[in-house]
Amino acid sequence: MQVYHKSKKCRICSSKNLELVLDLGIQPPANSFLKKVSSSEKKFPLRLFFCKDCFLLQLVDIVDKKLLFSHYLYLSSASKPILEHFSKYAFNVFNKFWKNKRKPLIIEIGSNDGSLLKEFKKLGANVLGVEPASNVSKIALKSNIPTINKFFTSKLASSLAKKGKPNVILANNVVGHIEDLNDFVLGIKNLLDDDGIFVFEVPYVLDLLKKTEFDTIYHEHLSYFSLLALTKLFKKFELEIFDIQRQSVHGGTLRIFVAKKERKKIKSKVIKMINFEKEYGISKIRTYKQFGKKVLILRNSLQKKIKQLKQEGKMIYGYGAPAKGNVLLNFCQIDNKMINFIIDTTPLKQNLLTPGTHIPIKSPTKVIQKGAGDIFLLLAWNYKKDILKKEKRFRKRGGKFLIPLPNPRII
């Protein structure tokens, strides 16, 4: 099996007009937590390129999807704020389109442990998940969410369509994972009922750029979407973005509603947002070059701050072991000499080591013993509000948090 290859053309428009905007070095896949230190740990280049023709920001370093996704350690259900987000999400979509109507069929691509489908099921929908990770799809099945353990492709879409076309296709934080975007969107088009909608969430490139969220760039995330780039992709398949909603999860997400051409009225806010992207410079290479420079400045200042804290004799721990935390740790060369351990609520991650930096991950009960002189580097910075609230007692005892982005600061 070839585990890595370099793509030479744009994932949407096949242009070769790609320019490097940020090099994050040679990194292990961000979710490849280890049982023990191994000399054969796999690492691959991690570089961000911009397509000057369709404006898609993307990786060209492709790690085989089976290596990344067949056994997966991220569980939606491990983060309470995500479960709250899913509950509101299902309520919003269901009531907007299916209140007092027949039972819709909802298919979710990348359905993980079934957390989102569970919410739709509670509201009365028929649900089906498609999830490539076998360990995670087993968890979904155990909680009675029918799940097909496969990667979604246009071929799978055709066989699913024979059994009934869904009214809604969902895809959360998964469209950015897809290498063959054209085949994926073809599958959506062929599977979706003619009056159906495709609702998906992606981290929004405007948030990535504005808040210097460089650590969300990792091998799993092949594309970083703007509406400008997505519009070009959907147009090829006679699909249209008719509505959008900005969401705060994952550091800034865009929820996007897509339908078959001329089936839904396009909301004015879609046009407004596209115009805003143009004004912001989403189609200009200089916008991304500036972002690249900001990332290097951030790395310097975080390294300086950690060095200073260690010189003052402070103990530093990590809070949360998200995939993005591993990008930050590897890129900023913060390892187990600087961080004693990381706490994380995901049972599957506990007692493992972070990839590349080899920091042990423990269960959060450890936080109860910490206080004055202790600092948690907030790697799960996207849950800052919830975590600061949850750790009120630690902070009362004099414990501090080091927030890494967009500018490192202690609170």
Distances 256 to 231, 280, 340 between C-alpha atoms, Å: 11, 20, 40
Q: Please identify which residue in the block is written with the tokens 């998200």.
A: 322
Is residue 330 close enough to count as binding ligand TMP by CB under 6 A? no
State in angstroms the smallest separation of the CB of 405 from ligand TMP: 12
Among the candidate windows 76-84, 132-140, 227-235, 398-406, which touches ligand TMP by CB under 6 A?
Answer: 76-84
Is residue 111 close enough to count as binding ligand TMP by CB under 6 A? no
| 309 DSSP 8-state letter | H
Pick from 380, 401, 402, 404: which binds ligand TMP (CB under 6 A)? 380
State in angstroms the smallest separation of the CB of 189 from ligand TMP: 29
Q: Are strands 126-130 and 105-109 parallel, antiparallel or unpaired?
A: parallel
Rounded Cα distance, 323 and 380, in Å? 9
Q: Which of residues 8-67 bind ligand TMP (CB under 6 A)?
A: none
> By CB under 6 A, how many residues form the interface with ligand TMP?
19
Give start and end residues of each alpha helix (H) in 128-180: 134-142, 154-162
State in angstroms the smallest separation of the CB of 231 from ligand TMP: 27
Q: Which residues contact 385 (CB under 8 A, 6 or more apart)?
A: none
Rounded Cα distance, 192 and 240, in Å? 13
Tell me the CB-side half-sphere exposure of residue 347, using CA atoms within 13 A.
3
Pick from 41, 193, 335, 386: which binds ligand TMP (CB under 6 A)? 386
Is residue 387 close enough to count as binding ligand TMP by CB under 6 A? yes
Nearer to ligand TMP (CB atom), residue 6 or residue 385:
385
Q: Are strands 361-362 and 342-343 parallel, antiparallel or unpaired?
A: parallel
Tell me the CB-side half-sphere exposure of residue 222, using CA atoms within 13 A.
22
Nearer to ligand TMP (CB atom), residue 98 or residue 331:
331
State in angstroms the smallest separation of the CB of 348 from ligand TMP: 9
Rounded Cα distance, 327 and 299, in Å? 11
State in angstroms the smallest separation of the CB of 132 from ligand TMP: 17
Is residue 361 close enough to count as binding ligand TMP by CB under 6 A? no
Peptide bond into 404 cis (omega under 30): no
State in angstroms the smallest separation of the CB of 243 from ligand TMP: 25
CA 369 to chain centre: 32
Q: Please identify which residue in the block is written with the tokens 């919830």.
A: 386
Rounded Cα distance, 369 and 298, in Å? 31
Q: Please identify which residue in the block is written with the tokens 């990839």.
A: 355
State in angstroms the smallest separation of the CB of 349 from ligand TMP: 6
Instruction: Identify any residues that bridge with 44 across adjacent strands, giving them in sequence order.
Output: 27
State in angstroms the smallest separation of the CB of 249 from ligand TMP: 8
Q: Which of residues 77-96 bind ligand TMP (CB under 6 A)?
A: 78-82
Neighbouring CB atoms inside 10 A of 350's CB total 17
Is residue 401 close enough to count as binding ligand TMP by CB under 6 A? no
Among the candidate windows 94-102, 131-139, 271-279, 384-392, which touches ligand TMP by CB under 6 A?
Answer: 384-392
Q: Which of residues 290-329 bind ligand TMP (CB under 6 A)?
A: 320-323
Does residue 399 contact residue 370 with C-beta atoms inside 8 Å? yes
State in angstroms the smallest separation of the CB of 285 from ligand TMP: 29
Among the candidate windows 104-112, 123-131, 288-296, 375-383, which touches ligand TMP by CB under 6 A?
Answer: 375-383
Is residue 220 close enough to count as binding ligand TMP by CB under 6 A? no
Is residue 382 close enough to count as binding ligand TMP by CB under 6 A? yes
Q: Give the binding site for ligand TMP (CB under 6 A).
A: 78-82, 320-323, 344-346, 349, 380, 382-383, 386-387, 390
